[in-house]
Amino acid sequence: MPTTVRPRRSALYVPGSNPRALDKAGTLPADVLLLDLEDAVAPDAKEAARRAVVEALGRRAAFGRRELVVRVNGLDTPWGHGDLAALAGAGADAVLLPKVESADAVRRARAVLEAEGAPSDLPIWCMMETPRGILRALEIAEAPAVACLVMGTSDLTKDLHALHTGERLPMLVALGTCLLAARAAGLAILDGVHLDLADAAGFAAACRQGRALGFDGKTVIHPSQIGPANEAFGPDAAALEQARRIVAAYAEARARGAGVAVLDGRLVEALHVREAERLLALAAAIAEAGG
């Protein structure tokens, strides 16, 4: 199963309408910047935000190795078509579509992008944030050019008439469904935001939960959330040491002609080696990107 080794531990929403935040984003240690034209931007600021984001993409050296992804407005809004047209040749690493509910929605957005001259392999990321979208997660994940799913847990909580709770039990079915779809299709997947900026302990717990579930990283809304997300979703020193030992033990067993190894009294099989190698590759990619 293909897995990404590109670090996406933290993905910061940056309102396209906030020039100060756009400038600051190039100095922050987020792996991904989600330059936002949608929910974070008021209707009367939409056009100016679009211009500011296209201008920011034009000076991409200022953003270093950070992955630059633009969240556009939906095609059912007055701005969606114009957003896609403006982004077609702007140099974003991916376009993030809001409220995706079908593979057809992905196809319609791609048709606009390609008609406006975008490369046919421009990656599409999809917000998973409506009941219908979650129920069609696999269809969406398998649509052409889709590379990453992004959980929109605020919209989903609202649509479900659910509550924001500490353990996020109301979200678990949707989170798990989208994880299954993303991994089945070989995509990356990012967890939703934690709205309470003052709640560092709750944020850390949500990161640990997201990591345990299998997410590649967490979407964040404020610079203070980047460090804890990077820590939670990056492999720690003990996990890396264990990964190296697993790879070595298995190689040694194979050299003896055995198909499995025993390390510290535990069975090591090929599947454990693949997961260890994925962690080591992720750590190498994080180190190469400057930590």
Interface positions with ligand COA (CB under 6 A): 12-15, 20-21, 24-25, 36, 39-40, 193, 221-223
* Site membership for Mg ion, residue 191 (CB under 5 A): no
What are 30's two structure tokens? 């987020």
Strand pairing category for 10-15 and 32-36: parallel
* Site membership for Mg ion, residue 101 (CB under 5 A): no
* Site membership for Mg ion, residue 155 (CB under 5 A): yes
Interface pick for Mg ion out of 16, 80, 123, 152 (rule CB under 5 A): 152
Per-residue binder mask for Mg ion (CB under 5 A), 104-133, x = binder = -------------------------x----
Q: Whole-number minimum distance, CB 35 to Mg ion, in Å?
A: 15
Q: Whole-number minimum distance, CB 77 to ligand COA, in Å?
A: 15
According to DSSP, the residues that pair with 67 across neighbouring strands are 32
Closest CA to 31 of 63, 71, 72, 2: 63
- Per-residue burial over 271-290, b if 16 or more Cβ lie within 10 Å, else e, is ebbeebbebbbbbeebeeee
Task: Give the C-alpha separation, 67 to 69, whole Å.
Answer: 6
The item of ligand COA, Mg ion, none sharing an interface with residue 277, based on CB under 5 to 8 Å by kind, is none
Helices (H), the chain: 19-25, 46-58, 80-87, 103-115, 131-135, 137-141, 153-160, 172-185, 200-213, 226-233, 237-255, 270-288
In the complex with Mg ion, the residue whose CB is nearer, 192 or 234, is 192
Closest CA to 149 of 128, 129, 172: 128
Q: Give the type of residue at 188.
A: A
The item of ligand COA, Mg ion, none sharing an interface with residue 24, based on CB under 5 to 8 Å by kind, is ligand COA
Q: Whole-number minimum distance, CB 111 to ligand COA, in Å?
A: 26
In the complex with ligand COA, the residue whose CB is nearer, 21 or 280, is 21
Local structure of 263: helix, strand or coil = strand
Residue nearest to Mg ion (CB): 155
The item of Mg ion, ligand COA, none sharing an interface with residue 155, based on CB under 5 to 8 Å by kind, is Mg ion
DSSP 197: T
Q: Whole-number minimum distance, CB 234 to Mg ion, in Å?
A: 26
What residues line the site for Mg ion (CB under 5 A)? 39, 129, 152, 155
